[in-house]
């Protein structure tokens, strides 16, 4: 009986202690400051610099041959079935003012891709016309310039995105679904996300702050109201936010904005002069690495920065300027955010030895003139613009430097070449078994009509031969 009483008393004491702990953990706010704790001050500073971006272009629908007949038009009218008419195609996204005095706004390239007319709606609902000053599809960024900057003072400072840490609080500001400016809150879920498939240069900030259609080009800001990234995509099977969003880091945004400020219509980036591949578990084990990390130098191009720095085939690059390199995408991002004319320090493993090598940040050279040729006439190549290959062209089109042939720089919309399936970045190697070395070979070989054409192409490293009717 005594033992049972002691047990009851001990149990009651434990319950009382647990209740006391729970009461300590769940305290009501004691001051007005705690009650009014809010993100509002950050939002008030940041939101005026986030704008809505509207892009549009006019498209003409294909005409119906019956509408040439006045009798037919009498029943259907000039605006009836099949009548050629202008159709406005539009896109909607967000943007961030990064230079109020110059009127520069950064947004996503996919928001204004193909658009000829752009307008910006400011936070105070004023509409301002804008012009596109720089398109950079490789980063999915674009810079537009407001034609009227009167009264525009709000802008966001670019933060040091290298200082961002997983777990940091962030706010996403944009115009989801076109309902108006909206703010969502979350944390940085991950850093240096690659292999997302959004752009050529991939090292995204991942966040669980809700990002939805229309948020593209909007701001991801820290608790000081500084821009740490441009919201660009979500992972979703339905189109709605599932808590996995991606933002382009401010370090990449800064490079693109500085190019626009310098008056350039494109971004000039450093060229490495080597082909890289990821480190597999087998390679890591053979090198004595504790995990697969870094990138392997698969090939070194003659007279390139990598060769001049002393890199050799088989070297493993582990770090750039003290930052770990996990894969080729991560290396490409680090390289692209380095300033031209500077020097990057690489930590390299060669066999069992560790080396420190310095590589210069220089642009890819145009070792021979592009000599562009636009194919005319009525053949299957009509609408193609081809250029001679060089490291500069290869870098621009993300193709192999050592490839043979000429590169397809443009494919005219609705042209025979476009309908057949030629793509920008294709390397035209041979026509009817005649090797192509220069653009003038293409001009010569496509001049005469033929019943059929045997074409050899290199597309993203895969060489194939196909037959095209004349």
Rounded-to-integer distance, Cα 207 and Cα 172, Å? 9
Rounded-to-integer distance, Cα 314 and Cα 317, Å? 10
Rounded-to-integer distance, Cα 253 and Cα 104, Å? 12
Structure tokens at 143: 């810079």
Of the residues 121, 216, 241, 259, only one is catalytic, namely: 216
CA dihedral 321, 322, 326, 330 (to 10 degrees): -30
Q: Identify the CA nearest to 72 among candidates 82, 85, 86.
A: 82
To the query of whether residue 110 is one of the catalytic residues in this protein, the response is yes
Rounded-to-integer distance, Cα 223 and Cα 42, Å? 6
Structure tokens at 93: 């996204």
Of the residues 46, 110, 208, 441, only one is catalytic, namely: 110
Q: Identify the CA nearest to 357 among candidates 365, 346, 368.
A: 346
**Angle of CA points 229, 233, 239, to nearest 5°:** 145
Rounded-to-integer distance, Cα 372 and Cα 406, Å? 10
To the query of whether residue 109 is one of the catalytic residues in this protein, the response is no
Helix (H), strand (E) at residue 13? helix 2-25
Q: Identify the CA nearest to 283 among candidates 311, 310, 315.
A: 315
To the query of whether residue 216 is one of the catalytic residues in this protein, the response is yes
Structure tokens at 137: 């599809």
Q: Identify the CA nearest to 387 among candidates 378, 403, 379, 377.
A: 403
Structure tokens at 90: 């539009």
Of the residues 99, 136, 140, 329, only one is catalytic, namely: 140
Where in the sequence numbering do the catalytic residues fall?
A: 110, 140, 216
């Amino acid at each position: 009986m005594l033992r049972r009483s002691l047990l009851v008393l001990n149990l009651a004491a434990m319950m009382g202690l647990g209740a006391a702990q729970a009461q300590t953990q769940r305290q009501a706010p004691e001051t007005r400051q705690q009650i009014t704790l809010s993100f509002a001050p950050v939002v008030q500073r940041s939101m005026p610099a986030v704008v809505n971006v509207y892009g549009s272009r006019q498209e003409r629908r294909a005409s119906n041959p019956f509408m040439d007949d006045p009798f037919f038009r009498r029943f259907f009218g000039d605006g009836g079935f099949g009548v050629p008419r202008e159709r406005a195609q539009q896109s909607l996204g967000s943007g961030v003012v990064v230079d109020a005095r110059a009127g520069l706004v950064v947004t996503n390239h996919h928001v204004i891709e193909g658009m000829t007319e752009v307008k910006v709606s400011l936070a105070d609902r004023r509409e301002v016309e804008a012009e596109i000053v720089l398109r950079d599809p490789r980063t999915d960024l674009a810079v537009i310039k407001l034609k009227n900057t009167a009264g525009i003072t709000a802008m966001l400072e670019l933060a040091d995105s290298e200082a961002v840490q997983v777990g940091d609080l962030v706010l996403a500001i944009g115009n989801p679904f076109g309902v108006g400016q909206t703010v969502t809150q979350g944390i940085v879920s991950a850093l240096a996300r690659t292999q997302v498939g959004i752009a050529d240069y991939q090292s995204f900030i991942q966040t669980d702050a809700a990002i939805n259609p229309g948020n593209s080009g909007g701001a991801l800001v820290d608790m000081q109201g500084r821009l740490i990234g441009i919201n660009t995509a979500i992972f979703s099977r339905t189109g709605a936010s599932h808590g996995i969003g991606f933002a382009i880091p401010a370090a990449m945004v800064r490079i693109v904005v500085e190019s626009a400020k310098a008056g350039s219509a494109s971004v000039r980036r450093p060229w490495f002069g080597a082909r890289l591949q990821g480190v597999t578990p087998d390679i890591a084990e053979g090198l004595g690495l504790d995990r697969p990390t870094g990138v392997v130098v698969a090939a070194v191009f003659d007279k390139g920065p990598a060769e001049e720095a002393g890199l050799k085939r088989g070297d493993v690059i582990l770090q750039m300027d003290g930052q770990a390199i996990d894969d080729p995408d991560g290396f490409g991002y680090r390289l692209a955010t380095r300033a031209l004319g500077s020097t990057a320090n690489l930590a390299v493993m060669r066999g069992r030895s560790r080396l420190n090598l310095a590589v210069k940040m220089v642009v890819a050279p145009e070792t021979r003139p592009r000599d562009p040729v636009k194919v005319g006439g009525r053949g299957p190549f009509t609408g193609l613009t081809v250029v001679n290959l060089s490291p500069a062209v290869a870098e621009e089109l993300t193709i192999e430097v050592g490839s043979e042939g000429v590169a397809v720089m443009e494919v005219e919309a609705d042209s025979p070449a476009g309908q057949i399936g030629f793509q920008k970045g294709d390397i035209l190697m041979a026509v009817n078994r005649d090797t192509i070395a220069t653009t003038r070979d293409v001009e010569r070989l496509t001049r005469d009509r033929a019943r059929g054409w045997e074409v050899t192409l290199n597309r993203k490293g895969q060489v194939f031969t196909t037959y095209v009717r004349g």
